[in-house]
Each structure stands twice: as C-alpha cells, then as structure tokens.
Amino acid sequence: MRIVVDLPRCQGYAQCVFLAPEVFELHGEETLLYDPAVPDEQLDRVRQAAAACPVQAILVGEQVSAGAR
C-alpha cells in the first residue's frame, strides 16, 4: 500500500512515529522520514497513525491519488 505524507503540512507531532515506528521516523525536531511503500503487516498501524495525525498529513492508499492533485 502506498502512502504519502504532506510534509509541508506535517508539524512534527510524532504521533505517527509512536504508532508505526517501523514506517515513520523523526530526525531532529521536525524532519519526518517515512517509507512510502507500506508492507501489509504495517497497514493497520499506518491507518491508526493517519487517524491520529493532528493535521491529517498522512494519506493512505486510495487517498494518495486524490490528494496528489
């Protein structure tokens, strides 16, 4: 499953890092690194992370193409 993080929107709250540490990683205070190709076993965690993101910066799967306009 593909994901996209809208990095300019991301505020570095790190909710996603806590919920899916194998996919999201925070370098320094505000630089988020992530793996855009999420393995199936991480998908539930990534969906939780997307739901928990305070600024809705994480787009998952079907939202990726819709959000990339």
Nearest by Cα to 54 from 7, 2, 5, 14: 14
Tell me how many degrees the CA angle 50-55-61 measures, rounded to the nearest 5. Answer: 35
Query: Near ligand SF4 by CB under 6 A, which window of 4-12, 36-44, 61-69?
Result: 4-12
Alpha-carbon gap, residue 41 to 8, rounded angstroms: 28
Query: Interface with ligand SF4 by CB under 6 A: which range of 6-14, 35-43, 61-69?
Result: 6-14
Binding mask 9-48 for ligand SF4 (x = CB under 6 A): -xxxxxxx-------x-------x----------------
Identify which of residues 39 and 55 has a Cβ nearer to ligand SF4 in the complex.
Answer: 55
E strand or H helix at 59, and its extent? strand 58-60
Residue 57 interacts with ligand SF4 (CB under 6 A)?
Answer: yes
